[in-house]
Chain A
Amino acid sequence: MATDSIGNVELTDSTPTDATAFLIEPPRKRTKTTAGRRSRTNFEMLAWLFMRLSGIVLVFLVLGHLIIQLVLDGGVSKISFAFVAGRWASPFWQVWDLLMLWLAMLHGANGMRTVINDYAERPNTRFWLKVLLVAATVFTVALGTLVIFTFDPNIS
């Protein structure tokens, strides 16, 4: 710790340096270089915009989906292989479900990215959690898309 002529302790970048001193550190402090690591893209802005736009569309898709699946025509008990096969025979419901799959997955994944950015402190933890998130998202979106397009109502 630097001390000036009148005995005032001057805070420096490395304060405090004496080994006996404790500190209560917050997670992830800002440093001089934080603003230097710039990406110069609009990714964060587009992600922010996407959350709002996909949210608006999801209100209709998800509420419609829930009402059709769980409320109308006897509710959840009517859902069977035949019911699903019947709906996916129509391109309208195929597009509906495809859109819902993609929007909800990307929206949810980007939301989880926000949560990771919020709560994971160490750079390594942040990186691997995001790798896991991307893998899970790509897998689910790919599998769902594949099923919607290749669904065979006469499978034995």
Chain B
Amino acid sequence: MSTPTIDETAAPHSAALDAAESGKVELITITLRIRRFNPEEHPDAVWVDYQLTVDPKERVLDAINRVKWEQDGTLTYRRSCAHGVCGSDAMRINGKNRLACKTLIKDVNPEKPITIEAIKGMTVLKDLVVDMDPFFQAYRDVMPFLITKGNAPTRERIQSEEDVQRFEDTTKCILCAACTSSCPVFWNDGQYFGPAAIVNAHRFIFDSRDEGAEQRLEILNDREGVWRCRTTFNCTDACPRGIEVTKAIQEVKRALLTRRY
């Protein structure tokens, strides 16, 4: 075998492959159209365009950071981990709820202005920052903690692989609110528990170690509970963790229906 050398006359590469191999980046100019809201200046939100040159393989969060750092320091938004773990930067990008830190610029049609706004159905405090209190209130209301009777075992609570699989999907939730704020029922009626709270109730209702299922089901059986769900699947589409949110809600409905009948 000969030593591999770079042969200029070898088979032609695509421009993209060339760029990737040489580490070169093809920069493009994009427009971020951000819905700005300044509570101290004006009662209404306004759309503001920002132009910048970026590598399309960067994430939308990188572009937003650049706007804040280089163009307008007053731009306000939440982000923390920047790696899809903390759930703080859910926002509406081109009309769809996503985590800005998990969305590549090339995937959101950068030829056109990329619209960015706060998630819907919650009080907007400033720019992309919303009041998450009602969201976490709904979360607390389903009692998202282990409920058991009797004494705690001296060793761990044993669970079979099968038992884990029953609720494994809903353990992945990072409470980003992308699902709840994509739900049209929630947009109109913020009293509805919303998908995220139901997902987190599901996580305990179907956990074989937990004994509070009956209480949680009773809570979700009421006016603002699971029966308000109209199966639009917006939540499943929105979830950055790929949780089958609508399915989880349907499983809670089914558990309620088969509980006594």
B175-186 vs A, CB cutoff 8 Å, 1 = contact: the mask equals 000000000010
CB of A27 within 8 A of CB of B39, answer no
Q: A28's contact among B120, B131, B190, by CB below 8 Å, is which?
A: B190
A15-35 vs B, CB cutoff 8 Å, 1 = contact: the mask equals 110001111111111111011
B141 (CB) vs chain A CBs: closest residue? A35
CB of B133 within 8 A of CB of A34, answer no
Contact-size category for A: 20 to 34
A4 in contact (CB, < 8 A): no
Please tell me which stretch of A45-53, A98-106, A135-143, A146-154 contacts chain B, meaning at least 4 of its Cβ atoms lie within 8 angstroms of it: A45-53
A25 (CB) vs chain B CBs: closest residue? B123
The verdict on A29 contacting B256 (CB below 8 Å), with A16-B39, A23-B39, A34-B137 known, is no
Main secondary structure of the interface of A (DSSP, over half): loop
- Interface residue count on the B side (C-beta < 8 Å): 37
Note all chain B residues with C-beta closer than 8 A to A122. Answer: none
Note all chain A residues with C-beta closer than 8 A to B37. Answer: 24
Give bound CA distance, A117 to B191, whole Å: 10
A132 in contact (CB, < 8 A): no
B191-202 vs A, CB cutoff 8 Å, 1 = contact: the mask equals 100000000000
Give bound CA distance, A56 to B193, whole Å: 28
A156 in contact (CB, < 8 A): no
CB of B190 within 8 A of CB of A23, answer no
B188 in contact (CB, < 8 A): yes
Please tell me which stretch of A36-44, A57-65, A68-76 contacts chain B, meaning at least 4 of its Cβ atoms lie within 8 angstroms of it: A36-44
Note all chain A residues with C-beta closer than 8 A to B133. Answer: 11, 13
CB of A44 within 8 A of CB of B221, answer yes
Note all chain B residues with C-beta closer than 8 A to A31. Answer: 134, 137
CB of B256 within 8 A of CB of A118, answer no
A119 (CB) vs chain B CBs: closest residue? B188
CB of B40 within 8 A of CB of A20, answer yes
CB of A29 within 8 A of CB of B227, answer no
CB distance from A114 to the nearest CB of B (A): 8
Note all chain A residues with C-beta closer than 8 A to B227. Answer: 44-45, 47-48
CB of A45 within 8 A of CB of B190, answer no
CB distance from A120 to the nearest CB of B (A): 9
B106-139 vs A, CB cutoff 8 Å, 1 = contact: the mask equals 0000000000000011111100000101110110
The verdict on A45 contacting B221 (CB below 8 Å), with A26-B123, A30-B190, A118-B189 known, is yes
Nearest 10 Cβ contacts at the A-B interface: A30-B134, A24-B124, A35-B141, A44-B227, A22-B43, A21-B39, A48-B227, A118-B188, A29-B190, A22-B39
Q: List 5 A-B contacts (CB under 8 A).
A: A11-B131, A23-B124, A27-B190, A30-B137, A45-B257
Q: List residues of chain A with CB under 8 Å of any chain B CB.
A: 11, 13, 15-16, 20-32, 34-35, 37-40, 42, 44-45, 47-49, 117-119
Q: List residues of chain B with CB under 8 Å of any chain A CB.
A: 37, 39-40, 42-43, 45, 120-125, 131, 133-135, 137-138, 141, 185, 187-191, 218-219, 221-225, 227-228, 253, 256-257
